[in-house]
Amino acid sequence: MKVACLTPYPQDTVPGQRFRMEQWAKHLAAMGIDMDFVPFLRPETMQYLYKPGRMLEKSRDVLAGCLERAMWSLRRAREYDVVIIQREAILLGVDWIERYLSRHVPTVFDFDDAVWLPNISAANRAAGFVKGFKKIDRILGMVTTVSAGCEYLAAHGRRFNADVHITPTSIDLGTYSPPREHVRGDVLEVGWTGSVTTGPYLKLVAGALATAAKRIPMRLWVLGADLEVPGVEVHCEKWTAEREVPVIRTFDVGLKPMPKEDWVKGKCPMKEIQYMALGIPCIATRYGTSVESIEQGKNGLLCDTDDEWVEALVRFTDVDTRTRMGSLGRRVVEERYSSEVAAKAFAGALESARRRFRSNRTVQGAELRASK
């Protein structure tokens, strides 16, 4: 099977692509499914996309992407057995491309966030009026098949489409191996990984971290954002693909604080499965998909209040607790969130789309002949 994957961003630049399609490509190839990536934006755009200003250059790049996407759809789409649309075909609030593709080729819409809800980065808020989030529900109804990263997203997809598959965001266990070996140390190494846009989430537990730092010796490692937490020793490092796993591997415990908002409900497990894949226990907000991936007291801890966050950090000063929960977390990733498991599920979605499209064409042809 030959498939094209229309992605918003270039390869190896954003987690939503790295932990889904880009990770699955090699497993799909082993199953006889060859994937070509067709990004909307060019690599140079990523240098300033999420920084304030430069609206002229951003507008130019988006318009260029629209033209290239339209030309590709007209000239190349029918060369493929299935076309995957990840999140949206173009970064504007119109569904022209999706509408055209769904009429001519089997299409799979893949999403890992609640993309039907407004969510715009602060750097690009002035251009938010062109996004048009309402198009997502229309797209869900017109594509052949839907691939959702978690049950919350799948439930929304089922409102508009009869063929919805859950394909979890995943971890390449070849990269995330071997798991960390926990040892007794003088300082608890607490870590968080994310981005500039999600950095503010860490501030949600700033008070708890400061309180814990008064009770136990600890350091906070921040990968992907630059911030300070008063009362806590913080070390920040810029994210790079090469440094991601080596830095996370140094954590004794990983953090995933999240605000209790509708947008967050649709965020697939990612930080926690990165930690767990390396045998590192996670402390997370008791909300959203974290309650699906973390079993309280077995492979991590879920918290609601600052006091619970503090006690969880204190609890993980015990090396045996970290080792036991970390080992169980690794097993959860192996069984439910490995890239191999996810790729097999996604292969089923691709085959379903091809089969359903052919079936629909057969029915449409019969109806046309009967009407003559």
- Joined together, the tokens standing for residue 351 give 């085959």
Number of other residues whose CB lies within 10 A of the CB of residue 220: 24
Write out pLDDT tens, residues 105-163.
Answer: 999 999 999 999 986 655 555 555 566 788 999 999 999 999 999 999 999 999 999 99
Helices 206-215 and 306-315, packing angle to 10 deg: 40
pLDDT at 363 over 80: no
pLDDT of residue 58: 85
Instruction: Note whether 220 and 253 are within 8 A (CB).
Output: no
Residues 343, 31: Cα–Cα separation, whole Å: 9
**Per-chain mean pLDDT for the chain:** 93
The C-alpha torsion from 72 through 77 and 79 to 85, rounded to 10°, is 120
Among candidates 328, 331, 19, which has minimal Cα distance to 171? 19
Average pLDDT over residues 55-75: 93
> Which range has the worst mean pLDDT, 43-47, 226-230, 302-306, 336-340?
43-47
- Joined together, the tokens standing for residue 55 give 């609206």
Among candidates 63, 62, 81, which has minimal Cα distance to 1? 81
Question: For the chain, which domains are there?
Answer: 2-170+339-371 (3.40.50.2000), 188-337 (3.40.50.2000)
pLDDT at 336 over 70: yes
pLDDT of residue 140: 98
Calculate the alpha carbon distances from 262 to 120, 132, 271, 325, 329 in Å.
Answer: 14, 18, 18, 29, 26
pLDDT of residue 55: 83
pLDDT of residue 125: 53
What global pTM score does this model have?
0.89
The C-alpha torsion from 90 through 147 and 9 to 248, rounded to 10°, is 150
335 Cβ contact list (under 8 Å, min separation 6): 341
Average pLDDT over residues 177-200: 93
